[in-house]
Amino acid sequence: MSDSDRDHGIDQDRDRDADTDRGTDRNTESDRGGDRNRGADRDIQPEEALRIAQRALSDLSELEDEVAQLRADHEELAEEFTAAKLRLSSEDDDRDYRQLTREDKVGIVREHGFERAVDGTGKARLDYTDIMWGVFDGEPSTKHCYTLMRLAADVRGFTVRDPEDDSKHLRVDAAEAKRGDCLFRENNTGETGVN
């Protein structure tokens, strides 16, 4: 290879390097320009930021109100649902006491206790006189009232208490009863028949 060919090759290499450098410079400038454009998008004025934050707070406040309403609706529906689960049937009020099964009576006792708890402070107590007179108009014996009380306490939210300084009674906690399974026909004593 002659010197002129070698010089010509060197010149070509130099030209190629210069083109590459210029391309790199162009890319760097376009990248910087892109950064400038992106930076302009990020420059939010304080007033605009405040408006965005206020909109977000307003939306959050509306959502909180909606959640509070949904919770209140849920609570009301839960009370109604539990009362319905406690209810044997719409015919119970019309049936004679002697036609009621033991399960029917236990369910009526639970329903009465639950409704009393919901109408009051969320808790109620029924002693044998409440069951005898308040629920069944004097029909069952004292002993049978205690049996119904014991059977009614077989589900969550219902317990029998026998404190030393007070009479034996069925304690009803409406909040616990709503969480429990009160379908007493299926979840009762397993005993059937009229009692």
- Tens of pLDDT, residues 139-168: 999 999 999 999 999 999 999 999 888 889
- 41 pLDDT band (50/70/90 cuts)? low
141 shares its domain with 54: yes
Nearest Cα neighbor of 178 from 156, 160, 149, 159 is: 156
188 shares its domain with 137: yes
Q: 160: phi > 0 → left, psi -120 to 50 → alpha, else beta; which?
A: beta
76 shares its domain with 146: yes
Give the largest CA-CA distance in the chain.
Answer: 131
Contact 152, 170 (CB under 8 A): yes
188 shares its domain with 99: yes
Structural domain harbouring 11: 1-43
Q: Is 158 exposed, middle or buried (0-12, 13-18, 19+ CB in 10 A)?
A: buried
Nearest Cα neighbor of 118 from 86, 155, 79 is: 79
61 is written with which tokens?
């406040």
- Please give the pLDDT value at position 26: 47
119 shares its domain with 103: yes
Residue 185 has pLDDT above 70, yes or no: no
193 shares its domain with 100: yes
37 shares its domain with 55: no
Tell me 87's DSSP state: -
118 shares its domain with 36: no
64 shares its domain with 88: yes
Count the domains in the chain. Answer: 2
168 shares its domain with 193: yes
147 shares its domain with 187: yes
35 shares its domain with 54: no
